[in-house]
Amino acid sequence: MSAKSDARRARRELVLNELGLTPLWRIREANAPEAAQLNQACTEIPAVGAGPAEIHTAHVDQWEDRRAKILRMGWEGLQTSVAGCVACPLCESRSRTVFGVGDPNADWLCVGEGPGAQEDATGEPFVGLAGQLLDNMLAAIDLKRGRNVFITNIVKCRPPGNREPTPVEAQSCEPYLARQIELIRPRLIIALGKIAGSNLLNTSASLASLRGKVHKYLDIPVIVTYHPAYLLRNLPGKAMVWEDLCFARSTMNQLLQSGH
C-alpha cells in the first residue's frame, strides 16, 4: 500500500473515531436502486452483539466498500447517487444536492467548500453574489461558466447556517469528488478557499502558505486561492486573487505547451 493511501486510510480511521462508531444516518429516500443499495451499505448497523473492535472494522470495511463502488460509477450513475445520498448528516437539512455545473470534459476544475442557501435552493453551485464574483474571476482568465470549466464543491449538500463542513462530512463526500475528478480529468484544479485546499491536498497548512505554489492532487496540478465569499467580506484580498489567477493562467499555458 502506498504512503498516500496509508495516510488516507489513517485520516478515514480518525474520522470514524470521531463518529464514535455510530454513523447511523437513516435512509430518507433514494432516487435509484443503485443509490439505495449504496446508501444501505453505509447505513447498515453491524450485527447485534458485535464488540467495539468488530464494529470498528465493519465500519471501515463499509466505508471502503462504498468508496470503491462510487469510484466505479459513470457520470450519470454518480449524479443519481449524489441526488439520493444519505451518507452524512447534511442530508437531513438540505433541500437538494448540488452536484456541480459545467463542462464534464473541462481543462479547468474549480472546487469550493459547500453549497450556500441559494445553491441549496437552486441546485447550482456558486450563485448569488459569490457566484457573480467567481464568474468575474473566471472571466479574468478568459473562462466562462459552462465552457471548458467545471465547478463543484467539497460537499454536495449545504452545511446548515453556512458553517464549514466537518471533517466527517467532507470525508463522507470525498469519493464523489474523487470520481468527478477521475471522470473529468482536468488539466488544472483551482481550490477556492482553505477548506477546498486542505481537503484536496490533505493538509492543515494555512491558505496563505498554500498560495503561489503548484501542488498536486494525484498527478493533477492544484492552485489554491481565496473563496469568493471571503473576498466579499475582504475586498483587499482581490489583489491576491488576481495574482493567483494570473499564476493559474500561466501554469495552464505551460501545461498546454508541454502537452499535459
Q: Rule CB under 6 A: which residues touch ligand SF4? A: 82, 85-88, 90-91, 97, 155-157, 169, 172-173
Please, which residue, 152 or 225, has the CB nearer to ligand SF4? 152
Q: Walk across the sheet containing 215-217 and list its strands.
A: 101-102, 149-153, 108-112, 188-192, 220-225, 215-217
Please, which residue, 35 or 245, has the CB nearer to ligand SF4? 35
For residue 104, give the nearest of 63, 152, 33, 142 by alpha carbon: 152
Q: How far is the CB of 171 from ligand SF4 (least distance, A)?
A: 9
Residue 242, amino acid: W
Contact status, residue 108 vs residue 190, Cβ threshold 8 Å? yes
Q: How far is the CB of 190 from ligand SF4 (least distance, A)?
A: 21
Q: How would you class 10 by CB atoms within 10 Å of its CB: exposed for 0-12, middle for 13-18, buried for 19 or more?
A: exposed
Please, which residue, 145 or 156, has the CB nearer to ligand SF4? 156
Q: How far is the CB of 169 from ligand SF4 (least distance, A)?
A: 6
Q: How far is the CB of 217 from ligand SF4 (least distance, A)?
A: 18
Please, which residue, 49 or 161, has the CB nearer to ligand SF4? 161
Q: How far is the CB of 14 from ligand SF4 (least distance, A)?
A: 17
Residue 77 CB partners (closer than 8 Å, separation 6+): 34
Please, which residue, 28 or 213, has the CB nearer to ligand SF4? 28
For residue 214, give the nearest of 201, 204, 227, 202 by alpha carbon: 201
Number of C-beta neighbours around residue 92 at 10 A: 12
